[in-house]
Amino acid sequence: MTSSIGFPILTVITALPVVGAVVALFSGKSARAVAVVTSLIALLLALVVWTHLPANGSIGLIERAQWAPSLGIEYHLGVDGLGALMLVLSAIVTLISADAADRVYVRPNLYFFFVLLLEAGLFGSFTALNFFHWFLFWELSLIPAFFLIKLWGGPNRGRAATQFFVYTMAGSVALLISFLAVFLATGTMDFVDLTQMASTGALGQVVTAHLGAVMPWLAIGVLAGFAVKVPMMPFHTWLPAAYSEAPSPVTMLLTGAMSKMGVYGLLRIALPLFGHEIAGMRTWLLVLAAITVVMGAWAAAAQKDLKRIFAYSSVNHLGYCLLGIFALAIPAAGSVIQANQAAALNGVILQMFNHGLTAAALFWFVALLEERSNGLRGLDDFGGLRKPAPVFAGLMGIALFSSLGLPGLNGFVGEFLIFRGVFSLSWVSASVSVLGLLITAAVILTVIQRVFAGPVSDKWKEFPDMHGGERFAMAPVIGLMMLIGLLPQLIVNSVNPTVVNLLSQWRF
């Protein structure tokens, strides 16, 4: 095992939450403290990883060991700018989520046990470079999420949890079958090897030689697995129920971090291995991406429950990622197209991070609303809250405008780069999708209008504003939104080499 840090940091960062989870299980009421401390240490480790990336954007901090060579299974870890950014994001989201979950009275030890296991699942899947290993963590993260919804969720939690689980499992099965086929044909499950094979076109030839002309079907299988997870319309129907029935801190994890597993999978597995096939289906995928953007925003406009509004709004925001990913799946002929692809891919990765941060913050605020109103979270349940709770209104307002994509806050730069890239690669889908920007703005301003403006009713005259601890918890998040909005190079400078590197490996 080699690493430029001196110890196998990727193994440590994945093992840490597992250890924390076991400790939490046996620490009763102080489990939340264990979770907060664990995720704080994890965040520090993730930042160490972030600052120790190879400058050329390739995969670094590699750890390799034999596992089951006859089955193509190997312990192979490593991260590039994309993986490291996802580690940081997962750590931040878990930390915010653990902080928000201060009202879990029923079996807090079990709750935080699952939360930390979920974090381990995220870390594992963002660092694995072997399919078997990756798939293990991909599935592992599903189980704690299922129980978190099932045991601590809202009134319809049973149905929501089942739907979530079955649906994602179905996607995973499709993914697994596709990958089994690839393994049968090539004898390897290593992402790096397979990407290498695909970049020369050898992968397609080998698979076709062994199994016949199945490559497009395998691509569809892989896409299905990720389309469910992201989600892409129409594979999203599990999402509104799961997001709204899950307790808000769990929703933060689902939207902030787990949805990124899907986008990450598209970038780490689908495009590298099946780029050629995806380029062949590009038009249809772009149609679905544009539908996801526009109809996601529009469906949000019809909702009355704040969590469902933000759930659909998440669909819309991740739709921009899909748009960028599918738009760039085009054979690069010349530097102009490469520049467009680089813009789109940088935008996608920025958008992954920014959406995770902002969506987690929004659900954090919803959790706070629920906590102060005995579980109310309807669009029309409040009104005029700006008067009794000006700080709350101000900070949530910033998070809302970040979600709206206001320049100066984090959301804007990613969306700008995505549109910059997509417009030249597929101007029709870009022109249709800008409608999503408009509708999202309408949805978000409606939320502000109904919740914070208008006369304050007697019921909410004494609505408590955010107290010191809450301000302390949210201030860094809001600060980060502004920081990234003004200095996106903090992220882009490390992501851009990876983008260049990835684009050079992909063959469309």
Map the footprint of another protein across residues 192-221, applying CB under 8 A: 210-212
Which of 184, 202, 376, 428 forms a contact with another protein (CB under 8 A)? 184
With both helix axes pointing from N to C terminus, report the angle between 390-404 and 410-425 in degrees, rounded to the nearest 10: 10
Q: Which is nearer to another protein, 70 or 335 (CB)?
A: 335
Residues of this chain, 78-137, that bind another protein according to CB under 8 A: 107, 110
User: Rounded CA gap, 458 and 81, in Å?
Assistant: 51
User: Rounded CA gap, 35 and 62, in Å?
Assistant: 27
Which of 111, 112, 138, 147 forms a contact with another protein (CB under 8 A)? 147
Give me the residues paired with residue 428 across strands.
none
User: Rounded CA gap, 453 and 389, in Å?
Assistant: 11
User: Rounded CA gap, 50 and 65, in Å?
Assistant: 23
Residues of this chain, 339-358, that bind another protein according to CB under 8 A: 339-343, 346
With a CB cutoff of 8 Å and minimum separation 6, the contacts of 232 are 288, 289, 292, 319, 322
Give me the residues paired with residue 128 across strands.
77
Q: Which is nearer to another protein, 197 or 343 (CB)?
A: 343
CB of 84 to another protein, least distance (A): 18
CB of 432 to another protein, least distance (A): 11
Question: Total residues contacting another protein (rule CB under 8 A)?
Answer: 88
CB of 154 to another protein, least distance (A): 14
User: Rounded CA gap, 210 and 245, in Å?
Assistant: 45
Q: Which is nearer to another protein, 382 or 423 (CB)?
A: 423
CB of 387 to another protein, least distance (A): 7
Q: Which is nearer to another protein, 37 or 177 (CB)?
A: 177
Q: Which is nearer to another protein, 8 or 405 (CB)?
A: 405
Stretch that binds another protein, among 10-18, 73-81, 142-150, 255-263 (CB under 8 A): 142-150
Q: Which is nearer to another protein, 78 or 275 (CB)?
A: 275
Under the binding rule (CB under 8 A), the answer on residue 288 touching another protein is no
Q: What is the DSSP letter of 329?
A: -
User: Rounded CA gap, 458 and 121, in Å?
Assistant: 46
Q: Which is nearer to another protein, 368 or 418 (CB)?
A: 418
Q: Which helix (H) or strand (E) holds 340?
A: helix 335-372
In this structure, what token pair is assigned to residue 133?
Answer: 């290993």
Which of 268, 372, 386, 507 forms a contact with another protein (CB under 8 A)? 386
Stretch that binds another protein, among 176-184, 257-265, 267-275, 357-365 (CB under 8 A): 176-184
Q: Which is nearer to another protein, 236 or 377 (CB)?
A: 236
DSSP code per residue over 193-243: HHHHHHHHTHHHHHHHHHH-S-HHHHHHHHHHHHHHHTT-TTS-THHHHHH
The gap from C-alpha 117 to its chain's centroid, in whole angstroms, comes to: 17
Which of 158, 187, 469, 476 forms a contact with another protein (CB under 8 A)? 158
Stretch that binds another protein, among 157-165, 196-204, 269-277, 351-359 (CB under 8 A): 157-165
Which of 65, 71, 302, 428 forms a contact with another protein (CB under 8 A)? 302
CB of 294 to another protein, least distance (A): 9
Stretch that binds another protein, among 2-10, 64-72, 131-139, 174-182 (CB under 8 A): 174-182
| Backbone φ, ψ for residue 449 (5° rounding) | -60, -45
CB of 43 to another protein, least distance (A): 22
Classify each residue of 314-326 as buried b or exposed e, where b means 16 or more C-beta atoms within 10 Å of its C-beta.
Answer: bbbbbbbbbbbbb
Under the binding rule (CB under 8 A), the answer on residue 501 touching another protein is no
Q: Which is nearer to another protein, 61 or 456 (CB)?
A: 456
Under the binding rule (CB under 8 A), the answer on residue 299 touching another protein is yes
Q: Which is nearer to another protein, 76 or 308 (CB)?
A: 308
Extract the runs of DSSP E, i.e. beta strands, from 69-107. 73-79
**Residue/partner pairs of 436-441 with CB below 8 Å, 24 or more apart:** 436/293, 436/294, 436/296, 436/297, 436/316, 436/319, 436/320, 437/405, 439/294, 439/297, 439/298, 439/300, 439/301, 439/316, 440/297, 440/300, 440/313, 440/316, 440/317, 440/403, 440/404, 440/405, 441/404
Q: Taking CB under 8 A as the rule, which mask of x and - marks residues 303-332 in contact with another protein?
A: x-----------------------------
Residues of this chain, 404-463, that bind another protein according to CB under 8 A: 406-408, 412, 416-417, 419-420, 423-424, 430-431, 434-435, 437-439, 441-442, 445-446, 448-449, 452-456
